Structure formats: structure tokens, C-alpha cells
Structure 1
Amino acid sequence: MKIADADILLVPGLGDVPAGHWLNRWRDKMANARFVELPGGHAPVFKAWMDGLVEAVADAQRPVVLVAHSLGVLTVAHAARHFEHGKVRGAFLVAPPDLGQTDPAPHFDTTGFHPRPTGPLPFTTRVVASRTDPSCAFDTAHEMASDWGAHFQDAGESGHIDLASGHGPWPDGLISFAYLMKTL
């Protein structure tokens, strides 16, 4: 599938997405990419995030490919069973968080987001995780990908794959995303 043939929905994580973050850069590069509006970015409410994502997918005019970061990854995994069958063709899930870890413990109400869903996602999925992500152990991220029937990609020692860890443009991620699109 060509990028131009899909609606690319960007699902952010907790908080604001800084201007230089790779999600913003990708939105600026792809005319058909847009952020899913999720209320209360710093104090997310599970039902509001789920409803916002399900509504955004339903409103899309073309096949959907989801690109999610951090808490957005868990939102996609939870919402997957609520999407219209076949509407979402793929998902590129980056830096999934482990909300069950205690150090550092999540600083928001995780009700609904945790525990994470298990079972295969109903669309082609790639999970990208770092060996040095403070929000999720590498083995746990690998387990999530396995549970979801996803291809797992080792991003090396890349922190949380965000602006703070030096991932503004993130060209390797864009190449990986393009490869996912070719497989759809």
C-alpha cells in the first residue's frame, strides 16, 4: 500500500508532542497524516481516549494506518476490537509503556489502560522498542509484540524514542514505517 492511499492517524502518548518530535515531523511530511485528538493529554482518561480513537478511525475516508507512540500504543491495542472490520490495515507502534512497572511508576490514573490487552491484533502490526526505554523493559516490549502477533523491531539503545532521547527526525523509523506500508 502506498502512503498516499491511506489515512495515517497519529496517536500520541502522554502529554504534549513537542514541535521537533518525529510524530510532528511525520505529520508535516505526509499530507494525509493527522493527529487523533485525545483529551487531557497530561491526565488521560481511558474511555475518552478509546472513544476518540474509535471515532477518528470511523470518520476516516480511506483505509487507516495507525502510528502510535507510548501510551498511544496501549490505546491502539485496547481499541483494536472496536474498529470496523478491515478499516485499519496496519499499525506502527513505538515505545510501548509498561504501566505495571513500579520504578518509575506511572504518574496518572492507569485505570483501563492497565492491564494491557493480550491476543493478536486484527491488522498487520510492527512494534518498535528500545533496549534502554525507562518506561518499559525490552523483554516486556518483546512480550507485548508477541502477544499481539506483531513483528518486533529492536531499536537499540534509543531511550523512549522521543525528542529527549534525540529522536527528532528519526530517519530509521521512517524507513521502517515505509517498509510496513509496502507489506500492507
Structure 2
Amino acid sequence: MSLRRPPFPVVVQPGWKNSGPEHWQSHWQAALSATRVENRDWHAPQLDDWLDGLDTALDQAGEPALVIAHSLGCIALAHYARRHPHRVAAAILVAPADVERAAVPSEIAGFGPIPREALPFPSLLIASDDDPYCRAERAQSLAELWGSELVWLPGAGHINPDSGYGPWPDGLVLLDDWLAGRHRRIAA
């Protein structure tokens, strides 16, 4: 598989509890020579700390950058975009975590309310129709609110190693195809 190098620096924004070595984000980080967001506490996240972590990663990577976010990282990026609309060139948002759902873990409830403004950069939201952390209707709503293109992965769970998404080479192809089709708009 021969992928085009994204035309921007790449930043990987993991979700709650970070992305381990088998997670697709770790594989993509290596494949794309990406900068990874580092946070003080992945298990008891604080929104401001996560925004600072993303800010630091963008400083290290260079800007504007392509941010590849997963789960709670998608919500953090939506908050970040409200404060710093010009630091991100584009985003891939995979399996956003609905922090406003019933019985949301108290550790991540502080990331609500979820921003409802359109993101100030092109974005692709990849969702599963059976994600236990974000119902399909909610994922559809977030894509509409954020102005994101939406791609469905049927039966993909939370799109993580537990649901069979380790290296996820098909996801890299999806990213590559999206960037190829969006390059002019993103570069502008």
C-alpha cells in the first residue's frame, strides 16, 4: 500500500486512557511520523490539561496540522477549535465519545457540554452504528453540528483494538482518499 504523505504535520490526539501500542492510532503515528499529544493524566482527564496538551503537540509538530482524534480526543478537539480556530488545518474524528449520554463515567463528564458550533476546518467523522459510547443518531448529529463529512463503519464498535481495529490499514486508505479529494480545500 502506497500512501501519499499528508500535506501538513500530523498530530495524534488519543482518547480517554490513551491509545496503547496495538491501537490503530499508535500504528498510524509511526506510519505518518506524527506527533502524539501527551497529557498529565490519561485516566482522570481534565479538559484544560488536555487542551494544553494539544497546544503543546501543535507547537512541536508545526501548524496548521492535521489532527487525528479518537473518542474523547474528538471532544477535546472540538473544544480546542473554539479557542484556537486557525491552528488546525483539518481533522479526522474517529468514534467520538458522547460525554452527555446517560451514565457517562464521572471521569469524562467534565468534557461536556459538547461544542455545537461548526468546526473552522474540514473534518471527516468516522462512526460505527453500534458504538457503545456514542449512539448512531448522536454521531450523525455531531457530524451535522460540526460540519463534518460522515463515514459509517457498520458493526465496528468503538473502532479500537477491542473491536478488531489494530493497525487498521483500511482506515489509512480512507484518510488518504479523503485528503486527496480535499487537498485543495484544505490547502486554501
- Same fold by TM-score, threshold 0.5 exceeded? yes
TM-score of the aligned structures, taking structure 1 as reference length: 0.91
Q: Distance in 1 between matches of 2:177 and 2:83?
A: 26
**Mean Cα displacement is larger for which, 92-101 or 59-68?**
59-68
SS of equivalent to 1:5: coil
Q: Distance in 1 between matches of 2:40 and 2:109?
A: 15
Equivalent residue number for residue 175 of structure 1: 173
| Matched ranges for 1:34-45 at <5 A | 34-45=35-46
Equivalent position to 2:141, from 140, 143, 148? 143
The answer on 1:108 being equivalent to 2:85 is no
Q: What are the residue-to-residue correspondences of 1:17-32 with 2, within 5 Å?
A: 17-31=19-33
Alignment partner of 2:109: what SS?
Answer: coil
| Residue in structure 1 matched with residue 55 of structure 2 by the alignment | 54
Distance 1:4 1:150 in 2: 19
How many residues get paired? Answer: 179
2:15 corresponds, among 13, 16, 40, to 13
Pick the aligned partner of 2:129 from 128, 131, 134: 131
Partners of 1:150 and 1:24 lie apart in 2 by 24
Contact 1:5 1:62 in 2 (8 A): no
Does the CA contact (< 8 Å) of 1:74 and 1:96 recur in 2? yes
Structure 1 Cα separation of the partners of residues 59 and 85 of structure 2: 7
1:95-117 deviations in Å (ceiling 9; x for gaps):
001112124x3241422x10100
Q: TM-score, normalised by structure 2?
A: 0.89
Q: Which residue in 2 is equivalent to 1:82?
A: 83
Cα distance change on mapping 1:60 and 1:84 into 2, 3 Å: farther
Identity of aligned residues (%): 35
Which digits, 9 at most, give the CA deviation of each residue in 1:3-55, with x for residues without a partner?
35311000000003221110011111122x12111221011011111122123
RMSD: 1.6
Report if the CA contact (8 A) 1:7-1:64 is conserved.
yes
Runs of at least 5 residues in structure 2 that lack an aligned partner in the other structure: 184-188
Distance 1:107 1:25 in 2: 30
Residue ranges of structure 1 left out of the alignment (5+ in a row): none
CA displacement at 1:62 relative to structure 2: 4.4
1:82 maps to amino acid: R
